[in-house]
């Protein structure tokens, strides 16, 4: 509906002037003034119907009255003509004249010229015509009937009356023709006057009645109709009008009730709508678990901040992505209820740690995004980052468990790292990924080099897809020794990717640390892992067949392979195909793999163990070491992470950890192997602590197949020489 800006709803001033100014009458009646309502009355159909009915009824009644009065008037006029004729004839009758001429010619002439009589016929009692003067009347006596008659001509111009012998006491019938044209004129004059008066009266009565109806009936009904229409068109904010003079009659009460209902309905609708809006807003913008805003809200708010704080006020915004380290593992081992509670607790801590006007949202399962407008009190985001780390130092207590939470943080700034909300958030995420890749529990600030790194990663993934088909993958082998005797007891198979390029060398090795995560994320690790296992087992079998003293080959199994592919069947198939004795195969699995789906993991490990293969925990000491779980797993070996060995001689903590792992392993009946042994000092320290086995650059770097075989043969030869034990290869390779 076209909104009438000049019309004033209830409660506001509704002056007639305003009403007249309202859109040319269409909505004018909405104003509670009779002046404005009256023109509307004439437009209403019902008004016209009533008016016409009243008018027609009045006309009909008055018409009937008129008809009666005119007839009466006419007969009066004719009667007087008759009397006139009667008198004239009576005066002209000559009682003494002969029977043939009762009216003298002179008297007749006198009558014709001085009265309205224009013709006279005289008949005898036998109806025989006796005399005739002037115009001849059409009326004549019929036989002997003594009747008086009168007749008017069709045009009403003359009137003929017949006098019988009885009328004048003479034996004649006398017919007089009288000029009645005057009567005719008088009658039409009379009719004209009366009709005019009647019309005026009817019109006046109708108009008065219409005004009264308009005021008391139509105007209120129109107002009610308008209010109802307005309510139908805009139920939440209807324009409601009130009568200027409110009446206490039936219609006045009806209007008040209707207005109350419309208002009530509007209020209800408004309330319902605002409730629904609140709910939709909550669903659309807030996370149900933590009650924090979600990513959508965050992006909108960031947009807003960029426009107002950065562009207008020239401020800087820090955007941070915070991710709980190993949340998935926590969720899987401790249960979802625990995970939920943990997220809530972290959300609360973040809110507490950051300035009040920060926006803290939960962006995805275990990722929080934060934005803080930097101020003189905290001009640098590193202060905020410290606060976050500090907030996480105290372990979280949930369901009677105390839990140490670690987070990784990625930071990007606006305007430094972009002026577009999504871009800045993406950059913070890139920085976060960096932080996670680089050891977690740390922070990284976005730098443009990261973008390049991301692109390189995509390129890497494209290249990796073809690497398998194009035989660019190969295995290198890193020998393992018995620390006490120095005997070669195994080798770890390490994947190498030779990526050809246009350089002088014809290509370069891509580090597994670089491409294994990409392979894991893309799922390519599954076929690659199959290839590694098959190749490693086949190589080991071949060496044994070549007569080299048998040793076990250790193959790294990634978490993705362990949980997403059927590792049990794969191992069984490979062992069957290569005919390698299972005891010469060891699978290295990292700690985090153990933490995921504990029960399934135990089942899988048991099945593998039953096949006869050995199991080692790789990089031991770096994960979420809840050491108590170790007992439940059917494992044979702990492999101390090289970082501890590297630092054992300079850092007392690492020294302590190494010692503890060794004694813990032994107390559980496990072998302990140390990797990253680079120096004599490392070796001596491990010997002192009673470590069983070693692997490291001190002995050799990982070697390609040919060099490795050469190394093994030499080593075994030397070993045989050094010891009296003959661990001699049966045949020369
Ligand atoms: P990892 O299983 O802990 O392997 C040991 C890594 O430490 C190897 O690096 C090895 O060359 C290196 N290393 C051993 N001793 C020393 C030492 O004394 N000094 C130094 N500086 N380094 C030493 P590499 O070959 O780069 O492998 C890195 C990681 O890549 C491996 O860590 C493993 O997690 C992964 N990886 C390698 N091959 C495979 C594979 O076939 N499958 C899977 N799933 N992961 C693999
Ligand atoms: Mg390993
Ligand atoms: Mg390792």
Does residue 140 sit within a domain?
Answer: yes
Helices (H) and strands (E) in the chain, counts: 24, 22
Which ranges constitute the DSSP H helices of 468-511? Answer: none
Q: How far is the CA of 658 from the centre of ligand 3 (A)?
A: 14
The residue to mutate among 480, 498, 512, 694, having the most atoms of ligand 1 within 8 angstroms of its beta carbon, is: 512
With a 6 Å cutoff on the Cβ, whether 676 touches ligand 1 is: yes
With a 6 Å cutoff on the Cβ, whether 238 touches ligand 1 is: no
With a 6 Å cutoff on the Cβ, whether 695 touches ligand 1 is: yes
**Which one of the ligands is nearest to 639 CA?**
3
| 485 and 398 assigned to the same domain | no
Does residue 1 sit within a domain?
Answer: no
| 361 and 495 assigned to the same domain | no
pTM beyond 0.85: no
Return all residues near 139 (Cβ < 8 A) that are at least 6 apart. 149, 150, 151, 160, 161, 162, 175
With a 6 Å cutoff on the Cβ, whether 558 touches ligand 1 is: yes
With a 6 Å cutoff on the Cβ, whether 650 touches ligand 1 is: no
With a 6 Å cutoff on the Cβ, whether 619 touches ligand 1 is: yes
| 506 and 653 assigned to the same domain | yes
Q: What is the CATH number of the domain that holds 699?
A: 3.20.20.450
With a 6 Å cutoff on the Cβ, whether 494 touches ligand 1 is: yes
With a 6 Å cutoff on the Cβ, whether 696 touches ligand 1 is: yes
| 176 and 305 assigned to the same domain | no
Separation of alpha carbons 119 and 111, rounded Å: 9
Does residue 398 sit within a domain?
Answer: yes
What is the CA angle 2-5-6, rounded to 5? Answer: 125
Q: Give the tokens for residue 355.
A: 């300035």
Does residue 397 sit within a domain?
Answer: yes
Return all residues near 457 (Cβ < 8 A) that are at least 6 apart. 518
Of the candidates 184, 216, 235, which is a domain's last residue? 184
Strand order in the sheet with 367-373: 359-364, 367-373, 317-324, 407-414, 443-445
| 437 and 508 assigned to the same domain | no
Q: What is the CATH number of the domain that holds 352?
A: 3.30.70.270
Q: How far is the CA of 693 from the centre of ligand 2 (A)?
A: 14
With a 6 Å cutoff on the Cβ, whether 642 touches ligand 1 is: yes
Q: Tell me if 703 sits within 8 A of 697, measured CB to CB.
A: no
Separation of alpha carbons 40 and 72, rounded Å: 44
Does residue 275 sit within a domain?
Answer: no
Please identify, by atom number, the ligand 1 atom nearest to the C-alpha of residue 536.
41
Q: How far is the CA of 485 from the centre of ligand 3 (A)?
A: 23
Return all residues near 327 (Cβ < 8 A) that are at least 6 apart. 339, 342, 365, 366
Protein residue with least CA distance to atom 25, ligand 1? 494
Separation of alpha carbons 570 and 558, rounded Å: 14
Residue-wise pLDDT for 694-731, tens only, equals 999 999 999 999 999 999 999 999 999 887 655 555 55
Q: What is the 3-state secondary structure (H, E, C) of 104-139?
A: CHHHHHHHHHHCCEEEEEEEECCCCEEEEEECCCCC
pLDDT of residue 639: 96
Q: How far is the CA of 577 from the centre of ligand 3 (A)?
A: 28
The residue to mutate among 525, 556, 646, having the most atoms of ligand 1 within 8 angstroms of its beta carbon, is: 556
Please identify, by atom number, the ligand 1 atom nearest to the C-alpha of residue 519.
44
Protein residue with least CA distance to atom 16, ligand 1? 676
Q: How far is the CA of 545 from the centre of ligand 1 (A)?
A: 27
The residue to mutate among 467, 481, 490, 494, having the most atoms of ligand 1 within 8 angstroms of its beta carbon, is: 494
| 429 and 310 assigned to the same domain | yes
Q: What is the CATH number of the domain that holds 180?
A: 3.30.450
| 545 and 440 assigned to the same domain | no
Of the candidates 184, 199, 225, which is a domain's last residue? 184
Q: What share of the chain is helix, strand, coil (3-state, %, to 5)?
A: 55, 20, 30
Protein residue with least CA distance to atom 3, ligand 1? 619
Does residue 13 sit within a domain?
Answer: no
**Which one of the ligands is nearest to 641 CA?**
3
With a 6 Å cutoff on the Cβ, whether 683 touches ligand 1 is: no
Does residue 527 sit within a domain?
Answer: yes
Ranges of the chain with pLDDT below 50:
1-37, 732-733
How many domains in the chain? 3
Does residue 474 sit within a domain?
Answer: yes
Q: How far is the CA of 588 from the centre of ligand 2 (A)?
A: 6
Q: How far is the CA of 616 from the centre of ligand 3 (A)?
A: 10
Q: How far is the CA of 568 from the centre of ligand 1 (A)?
A: 23
| 178 and 321 assigned to the same domain | no
Give residue 362's domain range: 286-446
Of the candidates 387, 414, 446, which is a domain's last residue? 446
| 436 and 472 assigned to the same domain | no
Please identify, by atom number, the ligand 1 atom nearest to the C-alpha of residue 476.
25
| 420 and 477 assigned to the same domain | no
Protein residue with least CA distance to atom 2, ligand 1? 556
| 435 and 583 assigned to the same domain | no
Which residues have C-beta under 5 Å from ligand 3, the single-atom ion? 618-619
Q: Tell me if 608 sits within 8 A of 567, measured CB to CB.
A: yes
Q: What φ, ψ does residue 417 adopt, rounded to 5°?
A: -110, 20
Q: How far is the CA of 618 from the centre of ligand 3 (A)?
A: 5
Separation of alpha carbons 161 and 174, rounded Å: 8
With a 6 Å cutoff on the Cβ, whether 535 touches ligand 1 is: no
Q: Give the tokens for residue 499.
A: 């990526």
Closest by CA position to 245, among listed 282, 218, 262, 220: 220
Protein residue with least CA distance to atom 35, ligand 1? 512
| 469 and 424 assigned to the same domain | no
The residue to mutate among 642, 677, 682, 708, having the most atoms of ligand 1 within 8 angstroms of its beta carbon, is: 642
């Amino acid at each position: 509906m076209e909104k009438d800006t000049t019309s004033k709803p209830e409660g506001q001033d509704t002056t007639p002037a305003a009403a007249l100014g309202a859109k040319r009458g269409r909505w004018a009646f909405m104003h509670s003034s009779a002046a404005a309502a009256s023109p509307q009355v004439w437009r209403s159909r019902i008004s016209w119907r009533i008016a016409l009915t009243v008018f027609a009824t009045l006309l009909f009644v008055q018409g009937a009255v008129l008809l009666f009065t005119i007839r009466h008037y006419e007969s009066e006029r004719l009667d007087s003509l008759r009397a006139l004729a009667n008198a004239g004839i009576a005066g002209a009758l000559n009682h003494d004249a002969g029977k043939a001429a009762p009216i003298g010619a002179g008297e007749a002439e006198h009558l014709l010229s001085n009265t309205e009589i224009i013709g006279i016929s005289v008949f005898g009692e036998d109806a025989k015509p006796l005399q005739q003067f002037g115009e001849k009347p059409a009326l004549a006596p019929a036989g002997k009937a003594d009747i008086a008659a009168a007749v008017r001509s069709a045009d009403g111009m003359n009137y003929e009356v017949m006098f019988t012998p009885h009328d004048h006491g003479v034996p004649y019938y006398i017919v007089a023709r009288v000029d009645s044209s005057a009567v005719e004129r008088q009658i039409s004059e009379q009719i004209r006057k009366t009709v005019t008066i009647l019309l005026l009266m009817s019109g006046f009565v109708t108009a008065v009645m219409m005004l009264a109806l308009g005021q008391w009936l139509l105007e209120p009904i129109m107002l009610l109709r308008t209010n109802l229409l307005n309510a139908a068109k805009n139920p939440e904010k209807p324009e409601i009008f009130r009568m200027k003079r409110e009446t206490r009659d039936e219609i006045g009460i009806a209007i008040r009730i209707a207005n109350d209902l419309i208002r009530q309905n509007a209020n209800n609708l408004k309330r319902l709508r605002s409730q629904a809006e609140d709910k939709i807003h909550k669903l659309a913008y807030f996370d149900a678990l933590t009650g924090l805003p979600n990513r959508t809200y965050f992006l909108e708010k960031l947009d807003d901040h960029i426009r107002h704080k950065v562009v207008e006020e020239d401020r800087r915004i820090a955007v941070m992505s915070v991710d709980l380290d190993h949340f998935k593992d926590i969720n899987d081992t401790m249960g979802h209820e625990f995970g939920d509670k943990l997220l809530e607790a972290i959300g609360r801590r973040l809110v507490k740690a950051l300035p009040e006007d920060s926006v803290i949202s939960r962006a995805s399962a275990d990722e929080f995004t934060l934005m803080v407008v930097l101020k003189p009190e905290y001009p640098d985001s590193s202060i905020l980052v410290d606060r976050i780390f500090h907030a996480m130092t105290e372990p979280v207590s949930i369901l009677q468990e105390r839990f140490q939470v670690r987070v990784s943080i990625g930071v990007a700034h606006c305007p430094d790292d972009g002026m577009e909300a999504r871009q800045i958030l993406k950059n913070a995420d890139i920085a976060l990924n960096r932080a996670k890749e680089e050891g977690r529990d740390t922070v990284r600030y976005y730098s443009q080099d990261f973008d390049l790194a991301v692109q390189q990663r995509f390129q890497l993934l494209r290249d990796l897809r073809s690497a398998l088909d194009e035989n660019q993958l190969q295995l290198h082998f890193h020998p393992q020794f018995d620390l006490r005797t120095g005997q070669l007891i195994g080798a770890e198979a390490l994947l190498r990717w030779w990526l050809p390029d246009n350089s002088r060398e014809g290509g370069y090795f891509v580090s597994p640390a670089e491409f294994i995560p990409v392979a894991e994320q893309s799922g390519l690790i599954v076929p690659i892992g199959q290839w590694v296992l098959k190749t490693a087992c086949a190589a080991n079998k071949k060496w044994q067949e070549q007569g080299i003293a048998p040793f076990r080959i250790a193959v790294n199994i990634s978490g993705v392979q362990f949980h997403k592919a059927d590792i049990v069947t794969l191992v069984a198939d490979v062992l069957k195909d290569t005919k390698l004795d299972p005891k010469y195969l060891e699978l290295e699995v990292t700690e985090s793999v153990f933490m995921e789906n504990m029960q399934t993991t135990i089942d899988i490990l048991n099945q593998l163990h039953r096949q006869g293969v050995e199991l080692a925990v790789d990089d031991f000491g770096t994960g979420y070491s809840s050491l108590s779980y170790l007992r439940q797993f059917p494992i044979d070996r702990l492999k101390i992470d090289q970082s501890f060995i590297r630092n054992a001689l300079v850092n007392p903590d690492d020294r302590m950890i190494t010692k503890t792992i060794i004694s813990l392993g032994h107390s559980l009946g496990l072998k302990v192997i140390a990797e990253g042994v680079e120096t004599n000092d490392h070796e001596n320290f491990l010997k002192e602590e009673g470590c069983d086995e070693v692997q490291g650059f001190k002995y050799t770097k990982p070697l390609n197949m040919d060099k490795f075989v050469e190394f093994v043969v030499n080593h075994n030869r030397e070993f045989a020489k050094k010891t009296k034990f003959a661990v001699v290869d049966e045949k020369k390779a």
